[in-house]
Structure 1
Amino acid sequence: MKDSRIRILMIDDDEDDFFLVNTLLQDVNGNGYIIDWAPTYDRAIEAIGQKEHELYLVDYRLGRYTGLDILRHFQQIGYEAPVIMLTGKGDYAIDNEAMMAGASDYLVKGEITGPELERAIRYGIMEFRHLRTIAENERKYFGIFEKSHDLIVLADCNMNIIEVNPIAVRKMKYSRDEFLQMNLKDLFVQEAEAIQFVQDICGDDAIVQKEFSFKNKDGQKLEVLVNANKLDEQLGTFLCVAEDITEKKREELDKRQQEKFVISGRIARVIAHEVRNPLTNILLAVGQFKQEDAAGNDDRQLYLDIIERNCTRINQLVTELLQSTRMMELHLQEYHVNTLVKNALALAEDRIRLNDIRLHEFYTEENTTVQADDEKMNIALLNILINAVEAMKPGEGMLTVTTSAENDKACIRIRDNGTGIPEENKSRLFDPFFTSKTKGTGLGLTSTQNIIINHKGTINVESAPGEGTLFTITLPRA
């Protein structure tokens, strides 16, 4: 059976003092303690190394050493334990120095009674256990804070940022010192969202799994799922834990786009079948009628031409719809992503120059190659570049084209400072025949999306009225 008594080591070169202290404790609680004795500094160091005692009673004077040397040894070996310093007479300077060196208490030998000594030992052990529990909890929570994969921000109700974890530094691309000079609203894309967020959290309500849009130092948007709770009512501090769901939302959007693309293809094939058959019959009948009535001089010839012309136009639209929504045969070769972009820009060069658009190009220096059909990718990129040019005012436009390598993806970003796209139109942007232009079929971006999907890539758009538009294309690296 394990001995439940508390083991104490008394370090003192006077055997009489050891006897007296032992007697005092035995009189108060004879079965509660086992006291071992170390009469020299060397014996004490050896016993401390065993780490078998819960508390240490240390005499201030130990020959050429002092009790402070014992305390310094504890610090040197990184061993934490409660230490009570004993001395022959009270000395404030020694008392203060001992406490600064880590002693939990300081007692004068000739003045202590058994109950006082026992209480000092009991309180010393209890306080040490309590502090160790606190320290362990701090280490545990600090580990969670430091190693969490989520962004963690500690802030107050004035929106001042107090602390951030390393993942927040990495994701948001601000240094910790920059963060501590910032206001919480600087992280939100919409300032109104930030103000409402703080009003909610600094009221009585916690925020549980609410989505917001953050922006990092480079202006890139992060979609985050936030959980927040107030920590201290008096200080008005709260903890905000934000899970980055940007990639998850992008994957969901890509999946929806692919599903919509498949559905559009089915609809297009149905339309082609149901519309082309009667169109063909009408065109054949018109042609036959024109041959039989070639000598007519009235307005019938004019009406027949109108019918024929519009039937042909409908037929062309059906053909374009089919081409923009069907899986296509690609002639793949390996190209550097920079080459694909430069080829498309060369085709758009006249439009860019005629509209006096400033062009900024930033190309990756990595060897980032993709498997692509050069001709099809020219069509896809040119559609986006032309849309960007047309969205900007001549002489005021700025077109920024960037390529980068991100893990196993090659990224192409095309940004303009044009009129932007209303929120209600963004979800329909790639739909067949959807267009905000007075002229156009609305199949350009549908075709672009088809080409990117056939290359096993993704295309996403970020835009707001008056803030321009950003198209992001990702392609798998070769």
Structure 2
Amino acid sequence: MANTGMKRILMIDDDEDDFFLVNALLQDISPDQYLLEWASSYQKGIIAIESMQHDLYLVDYRLGGFTGIDVLKHFRQLGINAPVILFTGKGDYRIDKEAMEAGASDYLVKSEINAALLERAIRYTLDKYAHLSAIAKSEKRYFSIFEKSNDLILLVDAAQRIIAANPAALRLLGYDDATLYSFHLQDLFATEEEGARFAAQPLSAFNTQHKEYLFRNRQQQLLEVTMSVSLLDEKKELYLCLIQDVTAQKQKAREKQQHEKFAITGRIARVVAHEVRNPLTNILLATSQLKMEPVAETEDAVLYLDIMERNCTRINQLVTELLQSTKMVELTMQEQNLHTMIHKAIQMAADRMQLHNMRLEYKLANHSPIIWADEEKLLIALLNIIINGIEAMEPGKGVLEIETTIDNNKVLLRITDNGSGISAENLGKLFEPFFTSKTKGTGLGLTATQNIILNHKGTINVKSAPGEGTSFFVTFPLLC
């Protein structure tokens, strides 16, 4: 359709005299601004319409066996929202109303048309059409962004009630429209406390800042997100929430940090082992030599030499365990059924579980996950996690949950206890060599566990809080 220079107008009217009259009026008031073309029947008008060469249409209501309403219906069938001015007879108010409902931009009473009225109607209709076209184009562009965006987009009112959500939000949060639209923003947060803190502030206070939050979807999965809030409509007090799911990014960053930290720990362990073992070997040799000397025959000398020897041997054992727990282990990999390995690890810990009089709950996936693993090494890792959970729980009240879920090409294993939990300070040190909160133990069990899982191209993460128990999350690549 033309949109620059002279505006092309199609007049559909079976009266040639009316065409000449309208053309003369236009030339009188706006010469060289409009080019008026004529279609003398409904059929010719339809053919001209389908060429899409005109900026505006003047249509007479009476067109032989057809009416101007039929022309408007044809536009609708074509999916075209065109600027149409309908010519009607005097006093045909029912027709005027019908025309506007059918999509006419305006109507003029034929017997009352003059140059100024005609020019004004045409100019206003063209301006209105251009304005509506710009709005429609803008709405289409924003609707496309809303519909196709991979980020979550929520529209909320001043009370933080969700009133619209794009497909990405519905998909990731796992709710249908009706359920989600009954929620307030605070209902999406992982904890009631965080949701309440968010709800206590007016949305205007956020000022488009990107902040990190923890959401929980319908499947109870935790989602790490960043969210910005901006005012969309001041009069209606509507706010737009743009939410990015950064769970995968955060997880990758943690995995990278985990691997780097473990590599550094291994290098430090090798340096410490080298520096400690050399003088330790000399002390042990000297102790052995002294035992063979006459001075060693006295009772005190034998006692002290035995103490020296035992402690040197103990130090040597700790150094060996440190090296074993932090070096890249050699694995004999085979296809293994993870569920079978879980049951074996549980059987190995059966005596401890019975002694603690604890309950075991399984929530295993219907599909048995097959992974690539060294059975002996991975059993050690699983057993270490299970034993930690058992020892953290109060005898007679303990519940150990073991759950597996399949997610694309990975299997997620969750081992949860309802024990005493771990403080945030200690949580960050959990996999560090020699760190332990137990009265007995070397603090190398979880270091070795992390080593084994990382060597299986897996990941291990822990979530815990004092008094709320502890959950170990372990993932492995899935074979089938």
Shorter-normalised TM range? over 0.9
Partner residue, 2:433: 432
Q: Is the 8 A contact 2:284 2:312 kept in 1?
A: yes
**Structure 1, 372-381 or 229-238: larger mean CA deviation:** 229-238
Q: C-alpha separation between the residues in 1 aligned to 2:399 and 2:314? A: 36
Q: Name the amino acid aligned to 2:262.
A: F
**Structure 1, 372-381 or 253-262: larger mean CA deviation:** 253-262
Deviations 1:240-278 (A, max 9, x none): 112111111111111111111111111111221222222
Secondary structure in structure 2 of the residue aligned to 1:13: coil
Once the 2 structures are TM-superposed, how far is the Cα of residue 336 of structure 1 from its aligned partner?
2.4
Once the 2 structures are TM-superposed, how far is the Cα of residue 434 of structure 1 from its aligned partner?
1.0
Once the 2 structures are TM-superposed, how far is the Cα of residue 420 of structure 1 from its aligned partner?
2.3
Secondary structure in structure 1 of the residue aligned to 2:209: strand
Deviations 1:127-159 (A, max 9, x none): 111111111111111111111111112223322
Secondary structure in structure 2 of the residue aligned to 1:356: coil
Once the 2 structures are TM-superposed, how far is the Cα of residue 38 of structure 1 from its aligned partner?
1.6
Question: Any residues of structure 2 matched to 1:250-265 within 5 Å, and which?
Answer: 250-265=251-266
Once the 2 structures are TM-superposed, how far is the Cα of residue 91 of structure 1 from its aligned partner?
2.3
**Structure 1, 48-57 or 414-423: larger mean CA deviation:** 414-423
**Structure 1, 91-100 or 362-371: larger mean CA deviation:** 362-371
Partner residue, 1:55: 56
Q: Is the 8 A contact 1:212 1:224 kept in 2?
A: yes
Once the 2 structures are TM-superposed, how far is the Cα of residue 195 of structure 1 from its aligned partner?
5.0
Q: Is the 8 A contact 2:229 2:240 kept in 1?
A: yes
Cα 1:56–1:234 shift into 2, 3 Å: closer
Q: Is the 8 A contact 1:389 1:397 kept in 2?
A: yes
Q: C-alpha separation between the residues in 1 aligned to 2:389 and 2:157? A: 42
- Alignment of 1:8 onto 2:6: no
User: What residue ranges of structure 2 are gaps of 5+ in the alignment?
Assistant: none
Structure 1 runs of 4+ with >6 Å offset: none
Question: Any residues of structure 2 matched to 1:383-402 within 5 Å, and which?
Answer: 383-402=384-403
Question: Any residues of structure 2 matched to 1:25-104 within 5 Å, and which?
Answer: 25-104=26-105
Matched length: 478
Q: Is the 8 A contact 1:337 1:410 kept in 2?
A: no
Q: Name the amino acid aligned to 1:312.
A: T
Q: Is the 8 A contact 2:186 2:199 kept in 1?
A: no
TM-score, normalised with respect to structure 1: 0.94
Q: Is the 8 A contact 1:201 1:230 kept in 2?
A: no
Q: C-alpha separation between the residues in 1 aligned to 2:111 and 2:383? A: 95
Once the 2 structures are TM-superposed, how far is the Cα of residue 433 of structure 1 from its aligned partner?
0.8
Q: C-alpha separation between the residues in 1 aligned to 2:193 and 2:272? A: 46
User: What residue ranges of structure 1 are gaps of 5+ in the alignment?
Assistant: none
Cα 1:219–1:463 shift into 2, 3 Å: farther
Q: C-alpha separation between the residues in 1 aligned to 2:409 and 2:272? A: 39
Cα 1:195–1:157 shift into 2, 3 Å: farther
Question: Any residues of structure 2 matched to 1:98-113 within 5 Å, and which?
Answer: 98-113=99-114
Secondary structure in structure 2 of the residue aligned to 1:331: coil
Q: C-alpha separation between the residues in 2 aligned to 1:423 and 1:235? A: 43
**Structure 1, 461-470 or 438-447: larger mean CA deviation:** 461-470
- Alignment of 1:312 onto 2:313: yes
Q: C-alpha separation between the residues in 1 aligned to 2:424 and 2:247? A: 18
Q: Name the amino acid aligned to 2:134.
A: T
- Alignment of 1:227 onto 2:228: yes
Partner residue, 1:443: 444
Deviations 1:101-149 (A, max 9, x none): 1111121111122111111111111111111111111111111111111
Once the 2 structures are TM-superposed, how far is the Cα of residue 13 of structure 1 from its aligned partner?
1.6
Partner residue, 2:371: 370
Partner residue, 1:178: 179
Cα 1:423–1:295 shift into 2, 3 Å: closer
Cα 1:177–1:397 shift into 2, 3 Å: farther
Secondary structure in structure 1 of the residue aligned to 2:434: coil
Q: Is the 8 A contact 2:329 2:455 kept in 1?
A: yes
TM-score, normalised with respect to structure 2: 0.93
Q: Name the amino acid aligned to 2:461.
A: N
Question: Any residues of structure 2 matched to 1:316-335 within 5 Å, and which?
Answer: 316-335=317-336
How much is the aligned-residue C-alpha RMSD, in angstroms? 2.2
Q: Is the 8 A contact 1:104 1:124 kept in 2?
A: yes
Once the 2 structures are TM-superposed, how far is the Cα of residue 22 of structure 1 from its aligned partner?
1.7
Q: C-alpha separation between the residues in 2 aligned to 1:22 and 1:314? A: 108
Partner residue, 1:20: 21
